[in-house]
Amino acid sequence: MFLSLTVRKKLKKFRSIRRGYYSLIILTSLFVLSLGLELFMNRRAVLVKYEGNYYFPTYGDVIPGTTFGLESEFETNYHELKELFKDHPENYVLMPIVPYDQYFTDLRDIRDEKGNKLYPPRPPNASTEHYLGTDTTGRDILARVAYAFRSSMIFALLLTLIIIVVGNSVGCLMGYIGGRFDILTQRLLEMASGIHVLLCAIFFATIFPPSLWSLLFLLGILSWMGYTADMRVLTFREKAKDYVTAARGLGAGHLRIMFKYIIPNSIVVIIMALPFQISSGISNLTALSYLGFGLPPPEANFGELLEQGQQRINELWILGSAVATLVAILVMTTFIGEALREAFDPKKHTVYE
């Protein structure tokens, strides 16, 4: 793909800002890996060999225990099956690296060195494969942190997409049409901007049961107003340039001019806003979940882990895991945003003739 000299300079500048560049690589890699999280953290086996037949339970239908010679007609407990197959070397069970998912409650009889029974929350223990311990109901902290990261990133990316598309489209319309439409829309946006997003979300959550999609819709329609101003100003500037006049003279329609010429030439505003909006989306979801108005239980989310950690302040592995992960994500998104702003700042790559 052909890139102009100016774009190549901007990308080279971005790569030279190492904390932002490496943060982008790390965060993108973690998110891509999280899309296949069931292969790494799951109570279901990755592979089961039984009497010469191979089974792949991870993404398939529920396999009853009777399939493998167990008495249960419900879903197979692959932890028990792995122990059972130790005496049958011709059969084996391949479990994920972390053999728990975000829902699995470990109620095994686990005891400390003195023989005392350990009740949830249990501290980190490599022998039980709870590498970051368990929460108050016996669920694996590492699995819940990983699944919370995935759900938070998906939520933030979808929310960012909605806000960027709606906010920049409305801002472009305001700047392109101008006149009474621009003035009236500004007054409406000024009134709407006085609505507190989180308070409004809490209000609706008391009426309608919260879910990922309802929160996404609600925060999306309340958060896009702040992205109209910059695009409006840029559209005023771009529509006065010669290439827009030439496109209009060649018969291009208004929508074609706005969405094919003006918005692509104002892409720098969209790029610089992306990381900060992702950070804001994760923070809003965490805040709502912490207050009890976010993702419904038992879905893993950072807010619920923070609330558990506050109640069990002595069990530092609960609060520490959530805080460390959340801080790392927000710091990396901030580094990416700063690097993009530094590299794509038009004032640094403008030539005046």
Pairwise CA distance, residues 34 & 22, whole Å: 18
Q: 3-state class of 140 per DSSP?
A: strand
Q: Which two tokens stand for residue 208?
A: 């309608």
pLDDT reported for residue 110:
79
Tell me: pLDDT of 288 over 60. yes
pLDDT reported for residue 71:
84
**Residue matched to tokens 């910059």:** 230
Tell me: pLDDT of 4 over 80. no
CA angle, residues 117, 119, 124, in degrees to nearest 5: 100
- Output helix, strand, coil percentages for the chain, rounded to the nearest 5: 65, 5, 30
Residue 266 belongs to a domain: yes
Residue 10 belongs to a domain: yes
pLDDT reported for residue 208:
80
pLDDT in tens, 224-259: 887 888 888 888 888 888 888 888 888 888 888 888
- With left for phi above 0 and alpha for psi between -120 and 50, is residue 158 left, alpha or beta? alpha
Backbone angles phi, psi at 53, to 5 degrees: -100, 145
Q: What is the mean pLDDT of residues 282-286?
A: 92
Q: Which amino acid is at 163?
A: I
Domain residue limits at 265: 5-34+142-348
Domain total in the chain:
1
Residue 157 belongs to a domain: yes
Q: Got the DSSP string for 158-211?
A: HHHHHHHHHHHHHHHHHHHH-HHHHHHHHHHHHHHTTS-HHHHHHHHHTTS---
Please state, in angstroms and as integers, the Cα–Cα distance from residue 21 to each residue in 27, 46, 153, 160, 316, following that order: 10, 34, 18, 20, 32
Q: Which residues are CB-contacts of 342 (< 8 A; sequence separation ≥ 6)? A: 13, 14, 17, 20, 348
- Are 174 and 233 in contact by the 8 Å Cβ rule? The answer is no
Pairwise CA distance, residues 158 & 242, whole Å: 35
- Are 195 and 189 in contact by the 8 Å Cβ rule? The answer is no
Residue 204 belongs to a domain: yes
Average pLDDT score, the chain: 87
CATH code, 245: 1.10.3720.10
The total of other beta-carbon atoms located within 10 Å of residue 9's CB is 14
Residue 117 belongs to a domain: no
Q: Which two tokens stand for residue 89?
A: 């070397």
Which of these, 315, 341, 300, 6, lies nearest to 147 by C-alpha position? 300
Q: What order of strands is seen across the sheet that includes strand 47-50?
A: 53-55, 47-50, 92-94
Tell me: pLDDT of 1 over 60. no
Q: 3-state class of 95 per DSSP?
A: coil
Q: How confident is the model at residue 285 (pLDDT cuts 50, 70, 90)?
A: very high
Residue 212 belongs to a domain: yes
Residue 91 belongs to a domain: no
Q: What is the mean pLDDT of residues 62-76?
A: 88
pLDDT in tens, 78-103: 988 988 888 888 899 999 999 999 99
pTM over 0.95: no
Residue 189 belongs to a domain: yes
